Structure 1
Amino acid sequence: MGRPRTYGARKTHASIAASALFGSISRNSHHTKFPASPERSALADITSAVINLKLDGDTENEDKRVGHNHDDDDDDENSETLEDRESEEGSEGLTLQLDENDELETEDETSIFNRKHQHLLPLITAYGIDTGRTLTTHSWADLLPSDCTVIKIAEASYAEVYRITIPSGETSIIKVMRIQSPCDPASSASDTAIRVENIVSEVRIMNTLTELPGFVRFKDAHIILGRSVQAFIDAYEHREEVCKEGRESQFPHPKLYTDASEFLAIELGDAGCVLEDFPVTSIKQVWDILLGTILALAKGEMANEFEHRDLHENNICVSVSPTPSSDHTDTDTNPNLKLGRAGVKTTLIDYGLSRAKLQNGTVVFLDLEEDPMVFQGSEGHPQFNAYRRMRTNLITGERTAKTKSWHLSKTLSPSTSWGEYTPYSNVIWIGYMLGYLKKALKKSESSRATPGGNGRGKGSGGGGRSGKGSVLGLFNEETKGLSGRLDFRTKVENGAFGTATDVLFYCVEKGWVSEVQAEEYGADVSGVF
């Protein structure tokens, strides 16, 4: 039996009417042409030049090849106009126009869209509007260079995550989501397949936040058609062989997919391993993880009114630098400085439940009211309590977590939309993360104190004790004020935090984060002092 879900089912506020979905399309500009991605060197990223398949199965143009260039360091390439890209050899564009009902339709007979695949229109349209490129389609074989290695590293409710490595050592992460498709009847009965409309908000938020420090790098996205290939089958089977009991895959074996199966593959930068799989060994690591998370959330609020809304240990990635940054570890000049002393970098991932304001002012979010099961998890469990606290706060303004029975009430009709900006949700998840890290630190101390471990008595937390003589005791003492202001029982007039930005200001005031470090994240903390 598969492990318990860590995400709520992703229902969306979006409708099929693309004019309502994507208000950024001007009604005075009825024709919008999205060129295919320009060519790039074969190893610039993991995705090589691929055949731009047509969804209707027509093979007439299958010999036309397009490439994808996402070289972040090439400013000239990134500054190309749409007309420049259209003129490149081998590029295929998708032309869309508004019909008499202000809905989007296609007029290019060589486009990847046709009536048979109308369910893909919201995703294709959003991708074109936000990136200026066509969302291309491939087979599984097209996705991989011939000499790469594939390792399955994680699962979410609707996604399998793979690390792709080429011989040079470069890596990319591929997040694969099976799409519920009328062309694939079995997908509608699968509890791991997702509706296209429920993917749109996540892809748009990824593309918007990709340049912000602390957020995952969005490289590209592709629609994948058909049966899987051996490399992914082997990766799936290997993970099943080595995974811990209770963490078996909830996804079908790849051999069960058919020629009609459809997937969205999102190519991301490699941000390390998820926090759940990261062995916390020191208090310095705990500080880096906590403060890096706070910085990213605060910057997201400042730049895009961002709320993550699902920030548990599987939605934070952790990587370690060989040596900490020497610029920020001088405790002689700042003895209270905490960030940067362990060389641990955090990256926020998975924006399936998130809310953000795009650069054009469009607010993108997921309407959690369409599937309230996310609020029905075990009472007393910190993660499920966090979901309930978010909804309680949205509906009532209170900071406690109403019971499951309250959230089950059919007479409850929220007057506030999940599209509203309620940044207190970020405070809830910072509190969750602080509790998680305390448990991880306690577990680390306990393991060092066991026979064969490296326990060194009271000062090292022998026996896993949390008294003042232990590392955990020291951390508890140092974060006592922070914990108090994160506590839902603390009143606003007594200093309770309302946003992640409030939490960051507190950390800067305490000296845990320097002004220089905050500025490197693009976070304005000039009002702190």
Structure 2
Amino acid sequence: MSTISQVASEVQLLQRMTSIPGFTNFRDIRVLQGRPPPAFCTAWKSFNKSRRKSQKSIFPDPSRKSSYDDEQLWAVIEMQDAGTDLERLIEEGTEAIGGIWGVWDVFWGVVLALGKGEEGCRFEHRDLHLGNVCVRPTHAGSDSIISAPEIRRLDHNLGFTGLETTIIDYTLSRADMEAASPLSNGAASPQVAYLNLEADQALFEGDGELEYQYDIYRFMRAAMYLDEPLADLDARWGEAMQSGRTWEGYHPQTNLVWLHFILYQMLERVVWPSSGEAGVLSRLGEGVDEVAAARKAGRIEKVLVRLQDLLDPGRLPASGLRSAKDLVGMALREGWLDEGDVIGSLEDVPVAAVKPKSRRKTARKTKGAQSTGAS
């Protein structure tokens, strides 16, 4: 169960992020009291039945009278339909999102949204697993159902599949609530919406052998305190406390830890080599040149493998990357994206916000992954 202060913090974040491209559109909230109506109970059962065993709801069945009493408070939050969560889409592989093309579009869609969130309000998600990334098609005539999108727009560096990503669920997130004034010179401290993750140690105690996601929470915590995702935080707890860092502070390297996780999970489900005929030519839209498509898919694959290496938690401290904004800057410098891709995705992000910066025990790597340069 969430406390009232936790719900208030999340609603603040929903309101703060709703105008930023790539984040969910918050519409309304209502506070209700009492037992859930039959329609709610039916919807909950349908939802819970569709979940894997390890992802079943931790909340009791709302249709049972013993589960909740007449005094129970509910916060009902309405948001836009952002599509289907990425976890469900790629359970059986990446074919549903267009193979390597979809991996590229989805990954950079999330990176660009995080970069804008960092620039706009020093945002960290802190719980960006696959279930918190939603994907939907945007091509004309498409509905909300994704089904092996056609590959188009080879003259661009992004948007091959027409898939749009949306980041959701800010329960553990952190953001400044007020924009910094250019006259304040950093003297005034903005109000911050955040959750003190040290209050729930269970978050950092999950078995990484069962779910890699549990390791990511520990990597994030070590990155926040020590800038080293793979640091032994128990052994260096005194050093962590002396760092003066807290969950209220801004530590965007946590976004990079989650970007590693998203990319790792998608690449694990790619059939290698992903740029072969079966993985590329069968998805091409009408009029798309097959030779050019195969060549471009090969370049995309090389860049994704390089990104996998750069974002590896064991190598991240030496990569020169400290935020999603830094990663966008690298993409511009390397030619992986151009300003049109970035500005088109972020709409109102100033070019200055994504200017490149100077760069440079191993965590998990995906099949076939090795360090390689982009060509």
Alignment pair present for 1:396 and 2:187: no
Aligned match of 2:81: 270
The answer on whether the counterparts of 2:264 and 2:308 sit within 8 Å (CA) in structure 1 is no
Scaled by the length of structure 2, the TM-score of the pair is 0.73
Q: Secondary structure at the match of 1:255?
A: coil
Give the deviation of 1:420 after TM superposition: 1.2
* Mapping of residues 354-369 of structure 1, within 5 Å: 354-359=173-178, 361-369=190-198
Alignment pair present for 1:502 and 2:326: yes
Root-mean-square deviation (CA, aligned residues, Å) is: 3.4
Q: Secondary structure at the match of 1:224?
A: strand
Residue 390 and residue 255 in structure 1: after superposition, are their counterparts in 2 closer, same or farther (change >3 A)? same
CA distance in 1, matches of 2:114, 2:305: 21
CA distance in 1, matches of 2:313, 2:54: 32
- Write the letter of the residue equivalent to 1:261: Q
Give the deviation of 1:373 after TM superposition: 1.4
Aligned match of 1:113: none
Alignment pair present for 1:386 and 2:216: yes
Residue 243 and residue 378 in structure 1: after superposition, are their counterparts in 2 closer, same or farther (change >3 A)? closer
Residue 476 and residue 517 in structure 1: after superposition, are their counterparts in 2 closer, same or farther (change >3 A)? closer
Alignment pair present for 1:217 and 2:46: no
Q: For 1:307, which of 124, 147, 158 is the aligned residue?
A: 124
Aligned match of 1:77: none
Give the deviation of 1:491 after TM superposition: 6.6
Give the deviation of 1:248 after TM superposition: 3.7
CA distance in 2, matches of 1:432, 1:260: 40
The answer on whether the counterparts of 1:226 and 1:261 sit within 8 Å (CA) in structure 2 is yes
Residue 203 and residue 370 in structure 1: after superposition, are their counterparts in 2 closer, same or farther (change >3 A)? same
CA distance in 2, matches of 1:481, 1:525: 25
Provide structure 2 residue ranges, at least 5 long, that are not aligned to the other structure.
143-150, 180-189, 280-293, 358-375
Give the deviation of 1:252 after TM superposition: 1.6
The answer on whether the counterparts of 1:298 and 1:523 sit within 8 Å (CA) in structure 2 is no
- Write the letter of the residue equivalent to 2:29: A
The answer on whether the counterparts of 1:224 and 1:265 sit within 8 Å (CA) in structure 2 is yes
Alignment pair present for 1:331 and 2:154: yes
- Write the letter of the residue equivalent to 1:391: R
CA distance in 2, matches of 1:358, 1:426: 18
Aligned match of 1:295: 112
1:36-64 residue CA offsets vs partner (Å, 9 max, x unmatched): xxxxxxxxxxxxxxxxxxxxxxxxxxxxx
Greater radius of gyration (CA): 1
Q: Secondary structure at the match of 1:425?
A: helix
Residue 491 and residue 242 in structure 1: after superposition, are their counterparts in 2 closer, same or farther (change >3 A)? closer
CA distance in 2, matches of 1:318, 1:330: 19
The answer on whether the counterparts of 1:441 and 1:472 sit within 8 Å (CA) in structure 2 is no
Aligned match of 2:265: 436
Percent identity (aligned) = 30
The answer on whether the counterparts of 1:324 and 1:343 sit within 8 Å (CA) in structure 2 is no
The answer on whether the counterparts of 1:219 and 1:269 sit within 8 Å (CA) in structure 2 is yes
Give the deviation of 1:330 after TM superposition: 4.4
1:255-291 residue CA offsets vs partner (Å, 9 max, x unmatched): 2333211111111111011111114312211111100
Residue 458 and residue 507 in structure 1: after superposition, are their counterparts in 2 closer, same or farther (change >3 A)? closer
Q: For 1:375, which of 197, 204, 227 is the aligned residue?
A: 204
The answer on whether the counterparts of 2:154 and 2:160 sit within 8 Å (CA) in structure 1 is no
The answer on whether the counterparts of 1:299 and 1:523 sit within 8 Å (CA) in structure 2 is yes
Aligned match of 2:361: none
The answer on whether the counterparts of 1:487 and 1:496 sit within 8 Å (CA) in structure 2 is no
Alignment pair present for 1:251 and 2:69: no
Aligned match of 1:58: none
Q: Which has the higher contact order (CA 8 A, sep 6+)?
A: 2
Aligned match of 1:234: 42
Give the deviation of 1:518 after TM superposition: 1.8
Give the deviation of 1:253 after TM superposition: 1.7
Residue 388 and residue 515 in structure 1: after superposition, are their counterparts in 2 closer, same or farther (change >3 A)? same
Structure number with the higher helix fraction is: 2
CA distance in 1, matches of 2:116, 2:88: 26
CA distance in 2, matches of 1:484, 1:234: 45
Q: Secondary structure at the match of 2:44?
A: helix
Q: Secondary structure at the match of 1:347?
A: strand
